[in-house]
Chain A
Amino acid sequence: MTESGEERRAERVDRLVGDVLAGRHLKATPSDAADREAIRMATQLAGTREGYPRMSPAFRRRLGRMLEKGEAPARLNRRAALTGGLGLAAGALGGSLLAQLEGRLAAFRPHPAGTPDPLAKPPTSRSIIEPRPELARWVDTGLKLTDLAEGVPHRVAAGAIGAFLLRRGDQVVGMSSYCTHLPCELVWQEDRKLLNCPCHNLGFDIEGQSLRDGYPLPALPFVKVRVRNGHVEVLGT
């Protein structure tokens, strides 16, 4: 490839990248096929920048109206309507169908779990919350190691960091107290042995792993914990 040829392609790929990063449609055409691997790598990288992406409230409302009415929202483009089989869909999602769906999907909700052994599963690779160095400091939680019972998470706050602490022998593991689905603070439910999200009723086990089948949420990030002279400290702000 000549230098000017590569520059032209670099210019073109950057225009496509700029659109994607701005949230606009990818405007690639068959003339871009030679660079498809680079373009698709760009979309994959762009796809990770939101962490766990959620639908915008406006789009969610439009989709909700579509499900209620069984017809496409006004802003649905022609391609989506045609390929989506709109004709078949119209009127299909009446009240009885929704009730049926409700019944089926209820099985996805967290159910009472057994008593998991915190030591049975090794911790998986997952992110660790660390405040910016200029703000980070070890915060005394006011708890002693002996205050923590095995198998019962204790919720604490260390400045801006909310955490559940879990005792393992002489050690303490800390994990974020916020759901990785929506930023709602989780609640420990002793009877069900799980951390429950009060916003959407999703659950995490005592290890912080998602209990959702099929497409699990990210595990709860770890927070840094240390025990000094029997006092439990969390790296907070």
Chain B
Amino acid sequence: MQRGEPERHGERPGEVVEMPVAPASPVDVALEELEFVYAYIFARVGNRADAEDLTQQVALKAIPRLRSGASVAAIRSYLFATARSALAAFWSARFGLPQEELREDLWVRSEQPEPAGESIERVDRILSKLPANYRKLLELRFLRGYSLKEVAAELGTTLGGIKVMQLRALRAAARVAGDD
């Protein structure tokens, strides 16, 4: 058994510790808001390149709005409404579908941004409802960073076979998500 470290130098448990905090500049404060927008977008597009483009779009659109004297809640609401709109345009451009159709989609329809941990919990729920082989494939490929070749080796199948299985697993997960 090892002794822990209940106390640190100059500090007792529960004591207030004053830490030096540099005053945040207005730009830093705005960037912190946009960090949340970025996280919201990244959770939906899944890659940094598109998440950065869309976050820039949101920032550019929001700048004039910041002049309007809107309330704090209105500014944040505007940021996320703009992010939802940018996402709808993003998917519309990719798949050649009307934005109106996509606005009704699960991914962009919520009025309020979900807490950061909820998308992870939703994915856990979806994966838990899949057959074991689909769940393992998606976990290895998407959550644990395995290459498709490594996934094929792990599941004892061919590269061609695992690609088809990946597509089927994604379709099955999308069906589960639709019911979630």
Q: Which residues of A contact B (CB under 8 A)?
A: 6-7, 9-11, 13-14, 17-26, 28-30, 32-33, 35-56, 59-60, 63-64, 66-68, 70, 72-73, 76-77, 79-81, 83-86, 88-89, 92-93, 97-102, 104-108, 125-127, 137-143, 147, 149, 152-159, 180, 187-191, 198, 200-201, 210, 213-219, 234, 236
Known: A60-B31, A70-B63. 6 other contacts (CB 8 A): A21-B47, A26-B94, A64-B28, A84-B56, A198-B21, A214-B73
Q: Does B171 contact A92, Cβ atoms closer than 8 Å?
A: no
* Nearest A residue (CB) for B34: A63
Question: How many angstroms between the C-alpha atoms of A189 and B17 in the bound complex?
Answer: 7
For A138, list chain B residues within 8 Å (CB): 1
Question: How many angstroms between the C-alpha atoms of A80 and B163 in the bound complex?
Answer: 33
For B143, list chain A residues within 8 Å (CB): 45, 48-49
Q: Does B67 contact A92, Cβ atoms closer than 8 Å?
A: yes
How many B residues touch the partner, as a band? 35 or more
Q: Does B63 contact A13, Cβ atoms closer than 8 Å?
A: no
Choose one: B50, B66, B121, B141; the contact of A92 (CB below 8 Å).
B66
* Nearest A residue (CB) for B49: A25
User: Could you give 26 example pairs across A and B, Cβ below 8 Å?
Assistant: A7-B160, A13-B167, A20-B46, A21-B141, A26-B45, A30-B95, A33-B96, A33-B97, A38-B170, A41-B173, A43-B45, A44-B46, A52-B117, A83-B86, A83-B89, A86-B60, A106-B29, A107-B72, A108-B33, A140-B3, A142-B4, A149-B14, A188-B15, A188-B16, A217-B115, A218-B120
Choose one: A104, A143, A215; the contact of B40 (CB below 8 Å).
A215
Q: A38-B171, A54-B35 are in contact. Are A143 and B13 (CB under 8 A)?
A: yes
For A18, list chain B residues within 8 Å (CB): 148
Which of B1-26 touch A at CB < 8 Å?
A: 1-6, 13-17, 19-21, 24-26
* Nearest B residue (CB) for A61: B31
Q: Does A63 contact B56, Cβ atoms closer than 8 Å?
A: yes
Choose one: B4, B43, B76, B170; the contact of A141 (CB below 8 Å).
B4
Q: Does A41 contact B47, Cβ atoms closer than 8 Å?
A: no
B154 on the interface (CB 8 Å rule)? Answer: no
Q: Which residues of B contact A (CB under 8 A)?
A: 1-6, 13-17, 19-21, 24-36, 38-40, 42-61, 63-64, 66-67, 69, 71-73, 75-76, 80, 86, 89, 91, 94-97, 107, 112-113, 115-117, 119-121, 123, 138, 141-143, 145, 148, 160, 163-164, 166-167, 170-171, 173-175, 177-178
Q: Does B3 contact A67, Cβ atoms closer than 8 Å?
A: no
Q: A6-B164, A43-B46, A81-B60 are in contact. Are A53 and B117 (CB under 8 A)?
A: no
For A142, list chain B residues within 8 Å (CB): 3-6
Q: Does A10 contact B95, Cβ atoms closer than 8 Å?
A: no
For A79, list chain B residues within 8 Å (CB): 53
Choose one: A24, A72, A147; the contact of B49 (CB below 8 Å).
A24
Nearest 3 A-B pairs (CB), nearest first?
A84-B60, A30-B96, A46-B46
Question: How many angstroms between the C-alpha atoms of A49 and B33 in the bound complex?
Answer: 22
Choose one: A102, A154, A159; the contact of B26 (CB below 8 Å).
A102
Q: Does B46 contact A188, Cβ atoms closer than 8 Å?
A: no
Q: Does A38 contact B35, Cβ atoms closer than 8 Å?
A: no
Choose one: B4, B16, B170; the contact of A157 (CB below 8 Å).
B4
Question: How many angstroms between the C-alpha atoms of A13 and B148 in the bound complex?
Answer: 12
